[in-house]
Amino acid sequence: MSNPWGPAPQGPRRGQGVNPRAAAWIIAGVAVVVVLVRTHHISTYSILLICALIPSVILHEISHGVVALAFGDDTAKRAGRLTLNPIPHIDPFGTIILPALLALSGAGVIGWAKPVPVNVSRLRHPRNEGVAVSLVGPAVNIALAVVFGLAYRFAIPLQDKLFSFGSTAVIPGPVWAQYIFVLSFINVLLAVFNLIPLPPLDGSAVIERLLPASALPGYYRIRPFTMFIPLAIVLLFPGVLQHIFNPVLNQWFKLLGP
């Protein structure tokens, strides 16, 4: 997700080190996952989901900053966020703790990385280029889903492939083959979810661009209060998301092939 609040404060500059509080949360989250694994309260599939989610959301966020930089905003670069080092991108709750708890509950896995700071006002053409900055995140997830989907189709032996899928599915094959499947799967979900046109999800940038300029001040006033709407939908109305995801997943399964 891109930053839904417009101009963002600068993050920590390079060389300041890791925030001790953030480090403590990360250590606690990793400890929770380790305990769940050692006590067999979390499945291999759930572990693979978490391991696929973290790099996927990080690449999603980095892409926002890279495209913003190309359009003239170096906020993310100055904040040290254009890096593959996962530490600056990890949101302790959204990247580790929540996905682990959801995996434990069997409710599926969802999570997010720390939003990359983008100052839309510094873009050369803020309204048009702001849409591109937002939509590049889902575009990266789509590209990853296709790449790993094709890898699964052509690199995995037929006997190791999964032909039906559900919340309790056991993916056949070696762990590396399962991981390729899960990487493609999680990126499909991330792309579709982030394209939902609700703030602060990336798809809301399209709605924002279609609004007349006179309506933008009111939109900006209410936008910070909408950040929990997507999470509430996930937790309270999971069936709604299934209606959104299922048509796309059906097409994705065709990509995986026999």
Q: For the chain, give every domain's residue range.
A: 20-256
- The better pLDDT of the pair 233, 197 is held by 197
Of 38, 199, 33, 42, give the one whose Cα is nearest residue 107. Answer: 42
Number of continuous H segments (helices) and E segments (strands) in the chain: 10, 0
Length of the chain: 258
CA distance linking residue 77 with residue 47, whole number of Å: 31
- Nearest-5° angle of CA 25, CA 101, CA 28? 20
CA distance linking residue 83 with residue 208, whole number of Å: 29
Active-site residue numbers? 61
Mean pLDDT value of segment 102-122: 77
pLDDT tens per residue across span 24-75:
766 766 676 677 667 666 677 778 888 898 899 999 999 999 999 999 999 9
Predicted pLDDT of residue 32: 67
CA distance linking residue 84 with residue 205, whole number of Å: 25
- The better pLDDT of the pair 199, 74 is held by 74
Predicted pLDDT of residue 86: 83
Checking if the pLDDT of 254 tops 90, the result is: no
Of 197, 200, 184, give the one whose Cα is nearest residue 146. Answer: 184
The model's confidence at residue 232, banded by pLDDT at 50, 70 and 90, is: confident
Region of poorest pLDDT, from 69-83, 84-98, 209-223: 84-98
Predicted pLDDT of residue 45: 79
In angstroms, what CA-CA distances link 250 with 43, 76, 188, 238, 245?
A: 24, 36, 11, 18, 9
Predicted pLDDT of residue 12: 39
The model's confidence at residue 16, banded by pLDDT at 50, 70 and 90, is: very low
Checking if the pLDDT of 95 tops 80, the result is: no
CA distance linking residue 61 with residue 113, whole number of Å: 7
Q: Which amino acid is at 120?
A: V
The model's confidence at residue 13, banded by pLDDT at 50, 70 and 90, is: very low
